[in-house]
Structure 1
Amino acid sequence: MDEAAAVEAANANFYTAFENGDLDLMHEVWADGDWADTVTCVHPGWTMLRGRDEVMRSWALIMANTAYIQFVLTDVRTEVRGDQAVLTCEENILTADEDDEGFIAGGSVVSTKVFVREEGRWRLWVNHGSPVLDGTDDDGSD
Structure 2
Amino acid sequence: MTSTHLHPKACTRLHVKSGEAEGSPNADTDTETTEAAHVVVDEETLRHDLETAIEEEDYAQAARLRDELRHLREDGRSSLLAANARFYDAFRDGDLAAMHALWAKGEHVYVVHPSAGRIAGYDTVMRSWEMVCDADYEFPLRFDLQDVEVHVRGDLGYVTCLEMVKTRGSGSWGKQIATNVFEKVGGEWRMCIHHASHLDDDE
Q: TM-score range by the shorter chain?
A: 0.7 to 0.9
Mapped partners of 1:128, 1:52: distance in 2: 15
Mapped partners of 1:64, 1:104: distance in 2: 22
Higher relative contact order (CA 8 A, sep 6+): 2
Question: What SS does structure 1 have at the residue aligned with 2:172?
Answer: strand
Q: Deviations over 1:14-57 (max 9, x none)?
A: 1111111110000111111xxx1110100000110000000000
Q: Tell me, yes or no, if structure 1 residue 62 matches structure 2 residue 132.
A: yes
Look up the match of 2:101. 28
Structure with the larger strand share = 1
Mapped partners of 2:171, 2:167: distance in 1: 5
Query: How many pairs align?
Result: 128
Mapped partners of 1:58, 1:43: distance in 2: 9
| Amino acid paired to 2:111 | C
Look up the match of 1:38. 108
| Amino acid paired to 1:86 | Y
Look up the match of 1:82. 154
| Amino acid paired to 2:127 | R
Q: Which entry has the higher C-alpha Rg, 1 or 2? A: 2
Q: How does 1:43-122 map to 2 (within 5 A)?
A: 43-65=113-135, 66-68=137-139, 69-96=141-168, 102-122=169-189
Q: Tell me, yes or no, if structure 1 residue 134 matches structure 2 residue 201.
A: yes
- Among 11, 15, 22, which residue is 2:88 paired with? 15
Q: Deviations over 1:54-96 (max 9, x none)?
A: 0000001110113232221011100100000011000011112
Look up the match of 2:69. none
Question: What SS does structure 1 have at the residue aligned with 2:148?
Answer: strand
Q: Which runs of 5+ in 2 are unaligned?
A: 1-17, 19-74
Q: TM-score normalised to the size of structure 1?
A: 0.85
Q: TM-score normalised to the size of structure 2?
A: 0.61
| Amino acid paired to 2:167 | T
Superposition RMSD on alpha carbons, in Å?
A: 1.3
Question: What SS does structure 1 have at the residue aligned with 2:173?
Answer: strand
Mapped partners of 2:142, 2:107: distance in 1: 30
